[in-house]
Copies of this chain bind each other. A is one copy, B any other.
Amino acid sequence: MSEPTPRVSDTLAEVRTRNPLVHSITNLVAMDLGANVLLAVGASPVMAHAREEIDEIVSVVSALVVNIGTLDAGWVDSMEQAAAKAGEVGTPWVLDPVGVGATSYRNEVAARLTALQPAVIRGNGSEIVALAGAAKVGGTRGVDSAIESAEALDAARDLAQASQAVVAVTGSVDYVTDGTRVIAVANGVPEMAQVTAMGCALSGLVGACIGIGADTLRSTAHALAVYGVAGELAAQHAHGPGSLRMRMLDALTQLDSETLNEMASIDQ
């Protein structure tokens, strides 16, 4: 392609200008932060899970985000219906397989959803490893350092190839891959893991960015960079997880193009 590569600031500017509607069927813990992150970047959140209205909503939004954090049978029905409809009408969707690997129920549900062809799957190292089937993961914890590096990237690549989704595995360095190409994003601070739903809300932001972008791989990497840079800026004046969370939302709104491009660490 002869077009100049869009910069990360272009992706954020597009979100702010076009205000994509993002439909989330997400977990009960993440709803508040998830909606606030979308609003902070200029997107419009729609949270709805009633089977009676899902098809109408999925048909008009820019993207759908499905998160299994507090799943139950009724909500899983809604998630599957929404994902199937998204496929039918061409709405790109993001799967956040929270806690996959922790219980057999989560494994089954995550596998069924993965088969419905998400555009992006975003998880931490242990989740991506579990979903890739590359390893047995015993607990519900976050990644350990062994998983974070080589093993997580290998699993992400395998999962991307098997699912035909872009896979984003987040950790101290994030990797985004379509199974062939790999983009590494090295933004963010470890303290972000002390705020609940930080990863879930990031999946929402990925939805906003792929909803307006042409290249899913790059749009996903840009979402990760925007989020990580906002976290770094927030951490500069935070005194713990309470103020970090507040300042993240402020930073996502205040972030200017120059700062973003300067701080973004995206390695293709």
Q: Does A226 contact B (CB under 8 A)?
A: no
Instruction: Specify which chain B residues have a CB less than 8 angstroms from the CB of A134 in the assembled complex.
Output: none
User: In whole angstroms, how far apart are the Cα atoms of A108 and B240 in the complex?
Assistant: 40
A102 at the interface (CB under 8 A from B): yes
**Contact indicator B29/A49 (Cβ below 8 Å):** no
* A104 & B249 in contact (Cβ 8 Å cutoff): no
The smallest C-beta distance from A142 to any residue of chain B, in angstroms, reads 8
**B254, A250: Cβ atoms under 8 Å?**
no
Partner of A194, one of B32, B242, B253: B253
Instruction: A16 to B243: give the CA distance in the assembly, Å.
Output: 20
Contact A29 B47 (CB under 8 A): yes
Query: Once the chains are docked, how many angstroms separate the CA of A47 from the CA of B196?
Result: 11
**Residue A72 lies at the interface, judged by CB distance under 8 Å to chain B:** yes
Q: Which one of B45, B46, B49, B73 contacts A72 once the chains associate, using CB atoms below 8 Å? A: B49
CA distance A238 to B246 in the complex (A): 11
Contact A39 B72, CB 8 Å, known A21-B141, A254-B239 = no
Given contacts A57-B102, A247-B242, contact A21 B194 (CB under 8 A): no
Tell me which residues from 6 to 22 in chain A have a Cβ below 8 Å from any Cβ of chain B. Answer: 19, 21
For A71, what are the chain B residues with a Cβ–Cβ distance below 8 Å?
Answer: 48, 50
Q: Which residues from B are CB-within-8-Å of A140?
A: 21, 44, 46, 57, 60
Q: In the assembled complex, which residues on chain B have CB atoms less than 8 Å from the CB atom of A48?
A: 70-71, 99, 103
B56 touches A196 (CB 8 A): no
Whether B53 and A103, one on each chain, are in contact in the complex, defined by CB atoms closer than 8 angstroms, is yes
Query: Which chain B residues border A39 with CB–CB below 8 Å?
Result: 193-196, 241
Chain B residues within 8 Å of A106, by CB: 53
Indicate if A252 sits at the interface (CB-CB under 8 A).
yes
| Residue numbers in B under 8 Å from A19 (CB-CB) | 141
Residues of chain B within 8 A (CB-CB) of A31 are 28-29
